[in-house]
Amino acid sequence: MKKRVLSGIQPSGKLHLGNYLGAIKQHLAAQALPDWDRYYFIASYHALTTSPEREVLRELSLEVARSYLALGLDPEKSVLFLQNDVPEVTELAWVLTCLAPMGLLQRATSYKDKIARGLAPNHGLFAYPVLQAADILVYDSHVVPVGSDQKQHLEICRDLATKFNQTYGETLVVPEAQIKEEVAVVPGIDGQKMSKSYKNTIDLFASKKQLKKQVMAIVTDTKTLEEPKDPDTCNVVTLYKLFATAEETAEMEAAYRAGNYGYGHAKLALLEKLNHALEPHREKYQYYLKHEDEVIDILRRGGKTARAKATEVMARVRDRVGLV
């Protein structure tokens, strides 16, 4: 039997380097694995927790889809779909909600973090981990690639799956998390984790002019050109390492320590690497921007495939629970 890898991304803005290096790159690499099914969904239900406008939600959902396709997702190898094309996920979420202890959800740090950042508290935000668990369990997912910040949510998912199985008998697959620690947290231009919420991102499909503006805005200390610098504490070097060879990184680090090498030099070197890496994808992105019907068709076909699996799982769940 094939195993299934699943992940989702919320349509909350244009995708950035943090999205790519922390998650999407792993998703694309999984396409080379034999004997695996790959399901990637656009988390439109999750996006409703911040009450986006209708047209904004629609556009950002398509933006995620065209970005994945531009970066190399192959619809013949991976299932790309909209969360809302599989209503079974909300049915399973309710079943799991009725098993979820309040204390388990109250300990979720992401809810507290979002409220601390000024998001209006609502039940959707509070119950987010339950819907996320349903996203995973409704497809019999075996492996879920996540950033380290989502590790707690995966543990909640595993707890809920285990509790369901203990209560009703073995029904749901208990998934494993796949965390790539070395790129799980990508620094933004201000040094914090790169995030749309912090407005500190480097966009994947920015024009060359926009990309240069973002790179040159990366925060550094005030050391002069002549002074030696510490590459281990510099955001520019941290980002450069993600695109450069080991030899190129060592050369930049040596230049930092020797002095007479400015942050402007390092930023231009990073910019060159980014342009080289992103240029082919920019062209594909422009193609899908002009062919929206093709993007929608891919999503619809993916939704049918995903829903067929979800229907199978929900039939088992209803039978176990006693829903006639």
Annotated catalytic residues are 114, 193, 196
Place of tokens 């998934």: 175
Count, in order, helices (H) and strands (E) of the chain.
15, 5
DSSP state of 186: -
Q: Are 68 and 24 in contact (CB under 8 A)?
A: yes
CA distances in angstroms from 202 to 144, 145, 219, 275, 311, listed in the order given: 25, 22, 13, 12, 39
Give the C-alpha separation, 96 to 290, whole Å: 41
The rounded distance, in Å, linking the Cα atoms of 13 and 63 is 8
Beta-carbon contacts of residue 9 (< 8 Å; ≥ 6 apart): 15, 19, 23, 24, 40, 42, 43, 64
Give the span between the Cα atoms of 292 and 74, in whole angstroms.
Answer: 16
Q: Report how far apart the first and last C-alpha atoms of the chain are (Å, whole number).
A: 29
Concatenate the DSSP letters of all residues of 158-220 into one string.
HHHHHHHHHHH-S-S---EEEE-GGGTS-B-TTSSBP-GGGT---BTT--HHHHHHHHHT---
Rg (CA), the chain: 21
| Residue whose pair of structure tokens reads 């002019």 in the numeric block | 209
Other CB atoms within 10 Å distance of the CB of residue 233: 11
Q: Among residues 81, 86, 69, which one has the least CA distance to residue 24?
A: 69
CA gap 273, 250 in Å, rounded: 15
Structure tokens, 239: 């980002």
